[in-house]
Structure 1
């Protein structure tokens, strides 16, 4: 059976810790959990994870991050790993950036901060059944 990894990308450590804790509390050992504080760190983690061709990848990414913004990050990930489920979790992204990411990265969903746990879980549950 394929492993599913949820990678959370946000430049705020407190957000990463909060999301990871919520995911673990809700899903337990159903998924593997990874975090990255930048797109650059996330690319390294993704490339390492995806050496195992049976892994399913779910990415939850912020938009406003130093260096590479979330939309650019997800578009680059999509070009290499198009089957990854991509979710943007943001309080800052504008409509143009979100639409661009939907079009160019097959963004599954954009959830606004502060997020509602049940909305995030529902999004993961429905998106995880796609691939």
Structure 2
């Protein structure tokens, strides 16, 4: 099993499965592909990965989620894991939230919904190159 992972976080299951399927189709068995339907669930996944000795490389997080917005989640992730590449996926985020994530979560990229698979893969590929530096 791969010891590097990509995590997708979105409160819409169909979006999560679509992201996971598109990313895994492109990168194959080189990475683990994890999904979470909330920031709380994402933290559980992150803790499990740490326990298993799996290095989290990239997080793609939706912005508009219940309880914790994606920019807040990514800021917290960056505080604990500054090497994880953060990507915000959104159809609703305002410029203030995006700027906050850029400043405080070292936001690597922002992807608008609906996204193009080619754009998603290019961003993930660039993020993985950055993470492996």
TM-score, normalising length from structure 2?
0.92
- Partners in 1 of 2:121 and 2:4 — Cα distance? 14
Task: Please give the per-residue CA displacement for 1:5-40, whole angstroms capped at 9, x wherever unaligned.
Answer: 110000000000111111121111121000000000
Quote the residue 1:50 is aligned against.
50
| Cα deviation digits, residues 43-95 of structure 1 (max 9, x gap) | 11112212455614210000000010000000011100010010011101011
Alpha-carbon contact 1:87-1:109 (below 8 Å) kept: yes
**Is residue 10–residue 38 contact of structure 1 (8 Å, CA) maintained in 2?**
yes
Distance 1:40 1:110 in 2: 21
The verdict on how the C-alpha distance between 1:126 and 1:50 changes in structure 2, with shifts beyond 3 A counting, is: same
Quote the Cα distance in structure 1 between the aligned partners of 2:68 and 2:56.
Answer: 24
Displaced runs of 4 or more, over 2 A: 50-54
Unaligned runs of 5+ in 1: none
Provide the aligned C-alpha RMSD in A: 1.4
Give matches, 1:27-66, under 5 Å. 27-51=27-51, 55-66=55-66
Who is 1:105 aligned against?
A: 105
Local SS of the residue matching 1:79: helix
Alignment of 1:67-86 (within 5 A): 67-86=67-86
Alignment CA distance shift 1:125-1:69 (3 Å): same
Give the TM-score normalised by the residue count of structure 1. 0.93
CA distance in 2, matches of 1:82, 1:47: 15
Gaps of 5+ in 2: none
Whether the 8 Å CA contact 2:57–2:128 is kept in 1: the answer is no
